[in-house]
Amino acid sequence: MTRDNRLNTPCIIVMGVSGSGKSLVGSRLAEALALPFFDADDFHSQANIEKMSSGIPLSDADRADWLNDLAALIQRQPGLVLACSALKIDYRDRLRHAAPDTTFVYLKGDIDTIWSRHSQREDHYFSGRRMLESQFEQLEAPSETEALIIDIAQSAEAVIGDCLSKLQTRYEQLQWPQ
């Protein structure tokens, strides 16, 4: 069955720069919505991981196969929540092509807030403030017509509550869930 024939199976991509809370928020949304959760970080090649671990930002070419793998996941999975940076419009368009009904949830925050959270993380290959600055430089932030925008300058519970509220409104308009 193709993705276009699946009704009531949302594809939700929780996006933002590293450290914005994509994995936490995405996994909690997936749990609340009874959908499978995937983290795009798990789909990076070993070469990409080594590059990021060395503090070297990824290029568009580095991300090409990774985005193709994520698009393939979206096409074969009947509904999901995916935590993915999706920094550029082109990246989001590539993912949306796999599932035109995709809803992006943009976790928006300033660099100081995110860096303070990021610097508390342990055992993650994303390395250094310069890497985070690079993500902010690459970020082509979506508009309110392109994504549900969530301010992360609040508790995780409040962020998740905002996400669920906005998703409920969005999917009521699309008649999901019923």
The predicted-structure confidence for 124-154, as pLDDT tens digits, reads as follows: 555 577 878 888 999 999 999 999 999 999 9
> 58 is written with which tokens?
């990824």
Q: Read off the pTM.
A: 0.87
Helix (H) or strand (E) holding 50: helix 46-53
Domain segments of the chain as ranges:
10-171
Half-sphere exposure of 26 (CA within 13 A, CB side): 28
CATH classification (class only), 10-171: alpha beta
pLDDT band per the 50, 70, 90 thresholds, residue 4 = very low
pLDDT, tens digit, 9 for 90 and up, residues 24-44: 999 999 999 989 999 999 999
Which residue has better confidence, 3 or 165?
A: 165
DSSP notation for 51-95: HHHTTPPPPHHHHHHHHHHHHHHHHHSSSEEEE----SHHHHHHH
